[in-house]
Amino acid sequence: MTDEQAVLVDVANGVMTVTLNRPKAKNAVNKAVAVAVAAAMDELDSNDAIRVGIITGAGGTFCAGMDLKAFVTGELPIVEGRGFAGLVEAPPQKPLIAAVEGFALAGGLEVMISCDLVVAADNAKFGIPEVKRGLAAAAGGLVRLPRQIPPRVAMELALTGDFMDVERAIQVGLINRAVPAGTALAGAQALAATIVANGPLAVKLSKQVIAESGEWSAQEMWQKQQEIVMPIFTSEDAIEGATAFAEKRAPNWKGK
């Protein structure tokens, strides 16, 4: 398989679908995958015609993590400014949905938790088993995961390397929706379509507030929120949304 085929990118109906396409390697991330994903994320953010991204894996597996065979040769699947897999240190500004079939492990879980929403097959498994290989989950498993699920649960995953099933993942808030095996991408596409129907500026800035507000103090949160969201209320889309509601029609969004 050539490097160009390691990641497939498709755009339809305002949704970009990025497919990790190394099924024989359980979609393990090598340098080529990282570079291609980073390029896709750049396109997602810069192209106004694309409103939502989906990342998934080919062959019934989301991602088994870093390509260890490449790692032992000295290759690091990192892109400067984006981090591991061309994603984890700088997720896109627009919504990104993970569609998970099979395993999301190690770096694969870290890619998943870099996304805003997760739709997973009901037989999926999740974990950060790096400690079992003498490694650490340094691409978000140790710092981002405890902010998304209870810290003691994250600690257990990090120290034991054990897997979590879908039922537990739902309980602790690791994923949004569980769907029948084989339908994770369809479920993510349905979720994406719901988002695409909304005002793009409102969606983008709402994501920004939620993503950044965890670092804000109680004293500053209202001011910082207003600084971000005020452009929404004076936008053309706000007028169009209200007008469309009154006229009982679908809005014609401009994203400004």
Q: Do residues 34 and 88 touch, judged by C-beta distance below 8 A?
A: no
Q: Do residues 196 and 51 touch, judged by C-beta distance below 8 A?
A: yes
- By annotation, the residues acting in catalysis are 110, 130
CA 35 to CA 18: how far, in whole Å?
A: 13
